[in-house]
Chains A and B, each alone.
Chain A
Amino acid sequence: QRQKIVTGKVTDKAGEGLPGVTIRIKDTQFGTSTNAQGEYSLNITDLTKTLVATSIGYITTEVAVGNRSTIDIILKSNNQELLELVVVGYGTAKKSDLTGSVSSMKSEQINQIATPNVGQALQGRMAGVDVSAESGEPGSGARIRIRGVGTINNSDPLYVVDGFQTGDISFLAPGDIESIEVLKDASATAIYGSRGANGVVLISTKRGKKTDKPKFSFEAYSGFQQSAKIISMLNATDYATLRLEAFENDKIVLPTDNNIFNRLNYIKSGNYNGTNWQNEVMNSGAKISNYSVNVLGGNEINRYSITGTIFDQEGLIKNSGMKKYFLRFNNDVQLRQWLNSGLSVAFSRFDKTFYNSDLYSGVLTTALAADPITASWDRNTNNWGRADMSSTNNPARSVNELINNKGYGSLINGNVFIEAKFLKNFTFRSQMGINYNNSHNKSYSPKFFVSTDEARDNSSLWQKRGEFSQWVLSNYVTFNKDLKQHSFGIMAGTESQQSQYSDMEVTAYDVPNDATQFYLSAAKNARDYTVKSNQSDESILSYFGRLNYNFAGKYLLTGTLRRDGSSRFLGANRWGTFPSFAAAWNLTEESFLKDVSAIDHLKIRVGWGQVGNQNSADNYGYVTTMVGNNLYTFNGQTVSGFAPEVASNKELKWETTTSSNFGIDFSLLKNKLSFTADYFIKTTNDMIVAVPIPTYSGIGAAKVNAGSVENKGIELALSYSNKEGELKYEVTGNLTKINNTVTSLGGGTAIESGNISKVGNTTITEVSREIAVFYGYKTNGIFQSTEELKQHINSKGEALQDAAQVGDVRFVDLNQDGIIDSKDRTYLGSGTPDFSYGFTTNFNYKNFDLRFFFQGVKGAEIVNGLTFTNQKGNLGANLITERLNRWTATNPSTNEPRVTEADPNNNYRFSDRYVQDGSYLRFKNITLGYSLPASILAKIKIHTLRLYASGDNILTITKYKGYDPEVGSYYNNSLAYGVDVANYPTARTLRLGLNAGF
């Protein structure tokens, strides 16, 4: 065989030389790469038939050698959307080859909102992906629901970060992320088997790239936050007026020497504003800032990326801030032509204070309930004021205590893989990942005395330390083979994973009130300690495979199968099998559409699959355990007692979700307009339900597989981009409509939940309705006159509400049985929206860029859980200013009931008066940026520099009267979604930032 030399130049379409392109003799490891001008020279033999040119960002191109000695190659950029590689489970796929329903998001969008929480950054961006913040508290989570709520249990998606499966991604900073893919339908998620039922969020972090020299970038922003809303409450004089009116209405005659009575009269006769408790507990200008540095670079052999981030946020509520630090190192090494490996290590740490949201002792709940007459600090006693008129704790004192309610966490995530190509068409990949999470909570409760019923006799220090570790080991082989127009892909693998948790908590008493003494060693009470621990260990073992077939890029078929075994189940129920099939047809590859120039791309997708949700089961739910610490005393000595507290079910098995998907993707007008629509039906069977049981059973309910839920929905995503002169613009929007229906509760009775103290249950979950619909009485205004009261009778002429007086609420006898009782309750809406949407517009003009981002939901209702407190004025609580318009003899034409504390008519039983329209349209973000021109940058030796001003949550259009219509779930109970008990409000944030590249 003869040797010869070929030379040539590799260019892009514009003729620009491309450096660093690998030129390889096909099917060998011999090759070279181009120089800075894009030129190469390579020794070949006369047997060499084909050269392969590869470069990141370009389509790999093969050229026939023939008898040429100069071979110039033109590489086509692959940044056209359809050729983009999309991460799918255990591999990647060209977007054009996808058969399932997958949405993507790029790093730029992820970083638009000021949040350290990746989940919150997803809000409003993708069709079918519903995100709401759990609360506005710094460090709080996001509730992500992919294609609706599939179960009343754990509906959180699975996260897969660079191939590592986890339920917790708090080790990730938004700035670490290159792209996010969300797998929505079962044909895409079934490869994750027992953990794919709620959708899968695949996250790729920024990895090193081949560069001439290391790229250094710096990003920073800093700004202020304020509460987007303050609730208008009565001032002291109005409060006194209404309280005295209530006593009068209730015919309560207080003795003339009554302290409360005299103070109320004194305040009523003057003009006093009193204390604005919301001001007392809120920060007026809470700071927020974020700094992030990234170094990225590499060569053929070794590529790296290092990112460090510092985030610091003060809370809107005093003493409720968070600091968080992130560090990430990614490294990829090409060990041999056929062998490469990679490593990712991330560390993060947070330091935050925990907010108290309890209905009685919480900060905002008491700030809204506390009477405005009481001073926050009583100068006479030189002590906190005692809000005795409203029987509440002093909110200013409560907020002051938050500072000692601390949480610290350290999270480590490490991941290493090795990938080998062998026997031409095979690739073997082995990946091992570890998650380690160390949490430390510490809360000090000082001794104090305000009054006999607002006092703590004994100081205490509670500390809890927990350790969570998880590892996942995956091994899989991929085989790819093209035979003319047929191409095949087969992947098969196994996976094992284990999670272990253990914690320890100790409460010690009589600890000095001094930050340097907040340690267990400082406890002066040597006798009393409370010690507890929790621990668990679980594992999953899996086998999985996938088959892809593609004919001429026209017809695409995918089938997957996964078999999972979980330690959460026993015996025959331990193993589950989860199959899926999908097909797609690229119509634009057909001859009859190839010449239709208006249509650039048109694809139809159909898929079906089954996935499981093991996270709905508890770890040892199949066995009843004995719980200790049930103490009693004999002969003055405390003895231990044990009792089972929660019942068990040996038969517990997987929740299974079956889903079908029909989708269409098309692009028009030279890809300026692209459109994706999906219709899906998703049914969860064997839903695990802790079916509420009668209280008389005396024990916590066991979990059973008793229910099924169906979600049907439509998702639309549309994007249009164009360029007119120097103006480039892009509009993208998405809309999701989901109908959620409980189709079975396994014969069990309806589940009532969402209990608000004094009000009772607010939601019901029953067959043929949505999960957790609000359920209560229907009202019809108030009795404005004696005549109206007299007319409110049943067919026998008896009063329907015999305790009612003029000015009280009129309840409707819905079932017309002549009495108003619990059977007259009805459906009053739900927290789940009819549809949700988001849209973004980006403009670029010369060096300026302007972005708007809107997001909203329509057709959601909210239960304003503070109605009982702030409209009834329970126990003397302060009232919202709307109550000034209450019914009185001189103000009969109103819908506000008379003021009464005795409330013989029970005006504030749970009714439609609690339920408000929770639809909203939120101007989520505006950003105006300016990038310095190259001429200036050259002088200051900076590659890129962009300055911007940004505002988050600028405006929210809603009818909801609470703090914020994005309310999450009361006590994180999925059956209390949409029940708002003064949720920590969302901040309006204004900030300035810069992005610089060197």
Chain B
Amino acid sequence: CSDFLLKEPLGKETEANYFNDPANAVLAVNGIYDVLGWEEGPGFNNSGVTSNLEWMYGDVMSDDAEKGSTINDFQALQELKDWTATSVNDIAKGLWSNAFAGIYRSNNVLKNIETANISSSLKTRLTGEATFLRAYFYFYLARVYGGVPLFTEPVKASEYTITKRATLGETLKFIESDLKNAVILLPERGDYSIVDLGRATKGAANAYLARVAMYAIGTDNSVTKNTWQEVYDLTRIIMASGQYSLTPNYAEIHEAEGENNLESIFEIQEVESSNSWGAIKTGTTSNIFQNNRSTWGWGFNNPSVSLVSEFETGDPRRACTVYSKDNVLLGTKVEDILYPSGNMTNYLNRKAAILKPSEGKESGQNIRKMRYADVLLMNAEAAANIGKEDEARQILNQIRARAKNSTTPKGSKEGSPTSYEAANIPNTTLPAITTSVTGKALMEAIWHERRVEFGMEALRLWDLIRTGRYLNSISAVRKSAATRHAINSNVVNPVPVLPIPLNEVQSWGLDQNPGY
């Protein structure tokens, strides 16, 4: 009789026995990586999730870009830029939901993998990957919201009502500790087999460790107490690892042939498909968002005039970063970019420009998160700060020399979509930084180089915040709004942050950020 009432879930393995099968541990870790690519969902507990991509913060909220598209379109993004977002802002809600789903998945793997019947080397690697990814999600959260609740295990029901937000400093400490573990556990890029290309590496963990330390130095360093020496040492480790080098031709970095190349330290892997929503999505909406509204895009994230004028005359990176009407893009002349009705600056992001995929919302362009050039420029900034100005200048010049050698962007000649043409720039372009550039001027030169090297790569906002330049880089109205939302205690520079989603504050008693 009791057999009649005994039922097992059909077609699904249960969490309890999942890790018994050795092959499943890898699949569970893949499930964490999946969250890296979530842009719209799925979202839990009836909380709908709207598109959230890192450039919406990193570029649009900085002086590098305007929202773009038509005035009405996607007001939630304009709210971010204007610092008028409220706690129901869909973009900010979406990131919160997605990042914590990633953290849950990491914690779930970390909790269960102990008992998994797999080789110790695989267990070490998978533990490293889950730890790295948890740090990745937390660092994203920390930059957007400040301190957040910290969990090393799947959240228990008993923790719901007692959970509080950690401070920004504590959160950065947590991230730092995860990344330090990941450095120990993860293999170098070269130690992975080719089928695993795209997984987290020792190099990626070290690079993020440097980035986190540098962010802490300029924001809340009260817990981590990071030093420029640390940043310098970490970047030196990567430089000495022999795993990475600069791509000879800058123009190639964001093209298909630049994906996962020797300069790449970490990227979100994307591949075209027809499934444009949810966890089964394998491509990105990033390209249709930023593509030309008069062709197949929506025309968002328009490079600002301020960014364009930052480029030195003749710098080939300008044409690799922005384009406008009448430019030739991947072999085809740009007839119109709908300025001003569907574009706000007369420029579009060249780094997101690709040929139309079969499904616009499922583009296959990998999103570059950490390049070796960034490691070098972090090293330069650290070197300058610890008095090694020569080294700093030397690295700066290495970056500038590479830029100078760049060709024109891919397909700059009508009818030749795949060719790179010589840039033919005068030799005086991008001169080497001489020993006369020192102190404050050297720091300005490094910051300038970061802005043009990483233009439209969603790094600008946090570079501005950690160096204390953000509030003065935006309009007076925005500055006053951002100031109201800034964390001011224990910080080196004011850190304006976005609102915590309404539900977390109202129902679960998390403290809201200032001014919301």
Residues of A in contact with B (beta carbons under 8 Å apart):
252, 254-255, 257-260, 388, 391, 452-453, 455, 457-458, 460, 496, 498, 502, 507, 509, 525, 528, 530, 533-541, 565-567, 574, 619-620, 623-645, 648, 692-702, 704, 749-750, 752-753, 755, 757-761, 822, 875-876, 901, 904, 906, 973
CB <8 Å contact, A694 and B160: yes
Contact of A533 among B11, B154, B160 (CB under 8 A): B11
CB <8 Å contact, B7 and A760: no
CB <8 Å contact, A696 and B7: no
CB <8 Å contact, B16 and A623: yes
CB <8 Å contact, B105 and A643: yes
Contact of A757 among B48, B86, B151 (CB under 8 A): B48
CB <8 Å contact, A566 and B5: yes
Q: Mark B356-371, 1 if CB is under 8 A from A, else 0.
A: 1011100000000000
CB contacts (< 8 Å) of A704 on chain B: these are 157
CB <8 Å contact, A758 and B88: yes
Chain A proximity of B503: nearest CB distance (Å): 6
CB contacts (< 8 Å) of A638 on chain B: these are 271, 273, 282
**C-alpha gap A460/B359 in the complex (Å):** 11
User: Is the C-beta of B97 less than 8 angstroms from some C-beta in chain A?
Assistant: yes
CB <8 Å contact, A625 and B14: yes
**C-alpha gap A255/B507 in the complex (Å):** 45
CB contacts (< 8 Å) of B70 on chain A: these are 260, 388, 391
Interface residues of B in 84-125 (CB under 8 A from A): 84, 86, 88, 90, 93, 96-97, 100-105, 108
The 9 closest A-B CB pairs, nearest first, are A698-B104, A641-B30, A641-B31, A643-B31, A625-B12, A635-B197, A624-B15, A630-B34, A698-B100
CB <8 Å contact, A452 and B297: yes
CB <8 Å contact, B31 and A625: no
CB <8 Å contact, B96 and A695: yes
**C-alpha gap A627/B34 in the complex (Å):** 13
Knowing that A452-B298, A626-B14 touch, tell me 14 more A-B residue pairs with CB under 8 angstroms: A391-B73, A498-B4, A528-B274, A535-B11, A536-B10, A539-B4, A567-B6, A632-B37, A635-B197, A644-B15, A698-B100, A699-B44, A752-B507, A759-B88
CB <8 Å contact, A567 and B7: yes
User: Is the C-beta of B140 less than 8 angstroms from some C-beta in chain A?
Assistant: no
Contact of A696 among B71, B105, B504 (CB under 8 A): B504
User: Is the C-beta of B257 less than 8 angstroms from some C-beta in chain A?
Assistant: no
10 A-B pairs in the complex with CB atoms less than 8 angstroms apart? A630-B34, A634-B195, A639-B30, A640-B27, A643-B108, A692-B507, A695-B93, A822-B502, A901-B72, A906-B86
**C-alpha gap A536/B7 in the complex (Å):** 9
CB <8 Å contact, A698 and B155: yes
Query: Which of B220-228, B288-296, B318-326 makes up part of the contact surface?
Result: B288-296
CB <8 Å contact, A760 and B108: no
**C-alpha gap A694/B45 in the complex (Å):** 9
Contact of A875 among B33, B72, B269 (CB under 8 A): B72
Q: Which of B18, B90, B510 has the most CB of A within 10 A?
A: B18
CB <8 Å contact, A695 and B504: yes
**C-alpha gap A452/B358 in the complex (Å):** 14
**C-alpha gap A813/B148 in the complex (Å):** 30
CB <8 Å contact, B28 and A641: yes
| Chain A, Cβ-Cβ closest to B193 | A635
Known contacts A641-B27, A698-B101; A258/B341 CB under 8 A: yes
CB contacts (< 8 Å) of B2 on chain A: these are 565
Interface residues of B in 1-49 (CB under 8 A from A): 1-2, 4-16, 18, 24, 27-37, 42, 44-48
CB <8 Å contact, A641 and B273: no
User: Is the C-beta of B387 less than 8 angstroms from some C-beta in chain A?
Assistant: no
Contact of B88 among A458, A627, A702, A760 (CB under 8 A): A760
**C-alpha gap A645/B280 in the complex (Å):** 14
| Chain B, Cβ-Cβ closest to A749 | B507
CB contacts (< 8 Å) of A574 on chain B: these are 5
CB <8 Å contact, B280 and A629: yes
CB contacts (< 8 Å) of A760 on chain B: these are 88, 502
User: Is the C-beta of B501 less than 8 angstroms from some C-beta in chain A?
Assistant: yes
CB contacts (< 8 Å) of B475 on chain A: these are none
Chain A proximity of B91: nearest CB distance (Å): 12
Known contacts A565-B5, A698-B101, A755-B47; A626/B195 CB under 8 A: no
Chain B proximity of A540: nearest CB distance (Å): 8
| Chain B, Cβ-Cβ closest to A254 | B71
CB contacts (< 8 Å) of B177 on chain A: these are none
Known contacts A259-B341, A749-B161; A535/B271 CB under 8 A: no
**C-alpha gap A455/B84 in the complex (Å):** 31
Chain B proximity of A629: nearest CB distance (Å): 5
CB <8 Å contact, B9 and A625: yes
CB <8 Å contact, A623 and B15: yes
Contact of A623 among B6, B14, B104, B293 (CB under 8 A): B14
CB <8 Å contact, B14 and A631: no
User: Is the C-beta of B270 less than 8 angstroms from some C-beta in chain A?
Assistant: yes
CB contacts (< 8 Å) of B8 on chain A: these are 620
CB contacts (< 8 Å) of B48 on chain A: these are 755, 757
| Chain A, Cβ-Cβ closest to B46 | A755
CB <8 Å contact, B28 and A694: no
User: Is the C-beta of B340 less than 8 angstroms from some C-beta in chain A?
Assistant: yes
CB contacts (< 8 Å) of A639 on chain B: these are 27, 30
Interface residues of B in 41-59 (CB under 8 A from A): 42, 44-48
**C-alpha gap A388/B293 in the complex (Å):** 13
CB <8 Å contact, B31 and A642: yes
**C-alpha gap A176/B130 in the complex (Å):** 61
Known contacts A632-B282, A700-B45; A496/B4 CB under 8 A: yes
Chain B proximity of A456: nearest CB distance (Å): 9
CB <8 Å contact, B75 and A875: yes
Chain A proximity of B24: nearest CB distance (Å): 7
CB contacts (< 8 Å) of B151 on chain A: these are 696
Q: Mark B398-428, 1 if CB is under 8 A from A, else 0.
A: 0000000000000000000000000000000
| Chain B, Cβ-Cβ closest to A701 | B45
User: Is the C-beta of B149 less than 8 angstroms from some C-beta in chain A?
Assistant: yes
Chain B proximity of A997: nearest CB distance (Å): 48
CB <8 Å contact, A452 and B12: no
Q: Mark B432-446, 1 if CB is under 8 A from A, else 0.
A: 000000000000000
Q: Mark B499-513, 1 if CB is under 8 A from A, else 0.
A: 001111111101000
CB <8 Å contact, A696 and B163: yes
**C-alpha gap A631/B155 in the complex (Å):** 24
**C-alpha gap A252/B75 in the complex (Å):** 14
CB contacts (< 8 Å) of A565 on chain B: these are 2, 5
**C-alpha gap A638/B48 in the complex (Å):** 26
CB <8 Å contact, B506 and A752: yes
CB <8 Å contact, A698 and B105: yes
CB contacts (< 8 Å) of B160 on chain A: these are 693-694, 697
Known contacts A257-B340, A637-B195; A699/B104 CB under 8 A: yes
Chain A proximity of B273: nearest CB distance (Å): 6
| Chain A, Cβ-Cβ closest to B109 | A643
CB contacts (< 8 Å) of A636 on chain B: these are 269, 271
CB <8 Å contact, A641 and B198: no
CB <8 Å contact, B45 and A623: no
Chain B proximity of A128: nearest CB distance (Å): 31
User: Is the C-beta of B489 less than 8 angstroms from some C-beta in chain A?
Assistant: no
CB contacts (< 8 Å) of B254 on chain A: these are none
CB contacts (< 8 Å) of A627 on chain B: these are 12
**C-alpha gap A535/B11 in the complex (Å):** 7
**C-alpha gap A266/B349 in the complex (Å):** 34
**C-alpha gap A694/B359 in the complex (Å):** 34
| Chain A, Cβ-Cβ closest to B298 | A453
| Chain B, Cβ-Cβ closest to A646 | B44
User: Is the C-beta of B211 less than 8 angstroms from some C-beta in chain A?
Assistant: no
CB contacts (< 8 Å) of A635 on chain B: these are 194-198, 260
**C-alpha gap A176/B417 in the complex (Å):** 70
Q: Mark B315-357, 1 if CB is under 8 A from A, else 0.
A: 0000000000000000000000000110000000000000010
**C-alpha gap A5/B271 in the complex (Å):** 96
CB contacts (< 8 Å) of A700 on chain B: these are 44-45
| Chain A, Cβ-Cβ closest to B161 | A749
CB contacts (< 8 Å) of A752 on chain B: these are 503, 506-507
